[in-house]
Amino acid sequence: MLFRDIIGQQAIKERLLRSVSDGRISHAQLFLGPQGSGNLALATGYAQYISCLNKQPDDSCGTCSSCVKYNKLIHPDLHFVYPVALSKDVRTSTDVMPKFREAFLDNPYITLFNWFEQLDAENKQAVIGVEESGEILRKLSLTTYEAEYKIMIIWQAEKMNQAAANKLLKILEEPPDKTLFLLVCESEDQLLRTIVSRTQLIKIPKMTDADLTNALVEQKGLSAEAAEKMAHLADGNYAEALLLINENENAAQNLASFQKLMRASLKFNPQGVFAWIDEVNAAGRERQKNFINYALHIIRESMVLNYGDPSLVKLGADEQDFVKKFSPFIHARNIERFMDELNKAYFHMERNANAKILFMDLAFKFNELLNIPKQEMVQ
Ligand SMILES: [Zn+2]
């Protein structure tokens, strides 16, 4: 991780650079910063800088043999510890290291939630367990020195359970020679006091609106106006901004896909239906489940617009335009079956049904349901 690839946080970067040029690198440091501030990215950038063989005044070189390994997180003297979902096969960070590398390289602003999504463990408890401390000692005793320091980055250090924290404390009290511990943490009060007092605190503020806006324009291609709005909503949390962008993109894709399906199934146009199925089939199972939920949402909101209070309708501007035209097709005589068919589709999707067959079936059903005439409402 190069400092220049980390958004904003100029004062922190300068402080870290100075600690290296002054030769005052403390053996245990606590990178304390809120979610989306870049605390993990900064710790990793700092580790890379310390190990870089051709340090520039303001950044790592990016090309020396150490940097090349750091760029892929495969330097033998760089170690990570992070929460995992404990199971028979997963006891420590080492057991899921390839996944962590991939996740961090894809998004250095990764949140604990993102990470557990990638582990398919959203509902499990995130913990750094006691076996991890044995693993830390084992890693630090490996003899392959390539760099001056061995660096151990402990991400989400507040997730250490009591036993793990106590063992880490012992290690910090008698630190192995030429070893750095960089603890990365979002909430200090969940960490053992004694650990906090053994570390040098690097307090990272949330990102400024200006830095966040710039990043959204440069890296995500948002217009200045949209970026400013998004930065305000995300409140200095880059991870939150990424999530919001993702949701917006998903909603736009889902809406386009829903419109296509409805058009093709209203008069059952086989070519249109097949083209749509190919598109949806290529999207992958999570997106398909997401689409079914989206369809449920649009149908529910159409019903509310038809019979309820329009102020209760929860839709974006594009969605509203569409739903105004679409809602007459949703009424008392077909709403229940629409919901029922979609819920059934979701149920089968979760049990690995064949997506092509399932969506073909859905298109036939929709053709039938969309053509049920609306009864006059009794006033
Ligand atoms: Zn370098």
pLDDT in tens, 71-83: 999 999 999 999 9
pLDDT at residue 312, as a whole number: 78
**Distance from Cα 2 to the centre of ligand 1, integer Å:** 9
Model confidence band, residue 108 (pLDDT cutoffs 50, 70, 90): very high
**Distance from Cα 183 to the centre of ligand 1, integer Å:** 23
The residue count for the chain: 379
**Distance from Cα 177 to the centre of ligand 1, integer Å:** 23
**Distance from Cα 120 to the centre of ligand 1, integer Å:** 35
Least confident piece of the model among 26-30, 51-55, 112-116, 371-375: 371-375
**Distance from Cα 79 to the centre of ligand 1, integer Å:** 18
Instruction: Write out the two tokens for 241.
Output: 């901004």
**Cα–Cα distance for residue pair 358/349, rounded to 1 Å:** 8
**Residue that wins the pLDDT comparison between 203 and 125:** 203
**Cα–Cα distance for residue pair 334/324, rounded to 1 Å:** 18
**Distance from Cα 8 to the centre of ligand 1, integer Å:** 21
**Distance from Cα 283 to the centre of ligand 1, integer Å:** 39
Strand order in the sheet with 200-203: 78-81, 150-155, 179-185, 28-32, 200-203
Average pLDDT for residues 58-72, to the nearest whole number?
Answer: 97
pLDDT at residue 106, as a whole number: 95
**Nearest to residue 3, comparing CAs of 52, 44, 51?**
44
pLDDT at residue 122, as a whole number: 75
**Cα–Cα distance for residue pair 213/207, rounded to 1 Å:** 10
Average pLDDT for residues 123-136, to the nearest whole number?
Answer: 90
pLDDT at residue 188, as a whole number: 85
Mean of all residue pLDDT scores within the chain: 92
**Distance from Cα 290 to the centre of ligand 1, integer Å:** 43
Model confidence band, residue 141 (pLDDT cutoffs 50, 70, 90): confident
**Distance from Cα 210 to the centre of ligand 1, integer Å:** 29
**Distance from Cα 54 to the centre of ligand 1, integer Å:** 5
**Distance from Cα 237 to the centre of ligand 1, integer Å:** 29
Within 10 Å of residue 376's Cβ, how many Cβ atoms? 6
pLDDT at residue 85, as a whole number: 93
For the chain, what is the largest distance between any 2 Cα atoms, rounded to a whole number of angstroms? 84
The label of the residue with tokens 């989206």 reads: 294
Tens-digit pLDDT profile for residues 351-379? 888 999 999 999 999 999 999 988 755 55
**Distance from Cα 110 to the centre of ligand 1, integer Å:** 24
**Distance from Cα 4 to the centre of ligand 1, integer Å:** 13
Stated as kind and residue range, the H or E segment containing 155 is strand 150-155
Instruction: Write out the two tokens for 238.
Output: 């880059």
**Nearest to residue 130, comparing CAs of 86, 89, 161, 169?**
161
**Distance from Cα 28 to the centre of ligand 1, integer Å:** 23
pLDDT at residue 376, as a whole number: 58
Average pLDDT for residues 222-236, to the nearest whole number?
Answer: 91
Tens-digit pLDDT profile for residues 160-212? 999 999 999 999 988 888 899 999 999 888 888 889 999 999 999 999 999 99
**Distance from Cα 7 to the centre of ligand 1, integer Å:** 20
Average pLDDT for residues 30-54, to the nearest whole number?
Answer: 97
Tens-digit pLDDT profile for residues 263-283? 999 999 999 999 999 999 888
Domain architecture of the chain: domains with CATH: 3-206 (3.40.50.300), 241-370 (1.20.272)
Within 10 Å of residue 162's Cβ, how many Cβ atoms? 9
**Distance from Cα 199 to the centre of ligand 1, integer Å:** 27
Alpha carbon of 151 to those of 45, 91, 162: distances in Å? 12, 21, 23
**Distance from Cα 77 to the centre of ligand 1, integer Å:** 14
Instruction: Write out the two tokens for 264.
Output: 């093709």
**Distance from Cα 140 to the centre of ligand 1, integer Å:** 22
**Distance from Cα 32 to the centre of ligand 1, integer Å:** 26
pLDDT at residue 378, as a whole number: 53
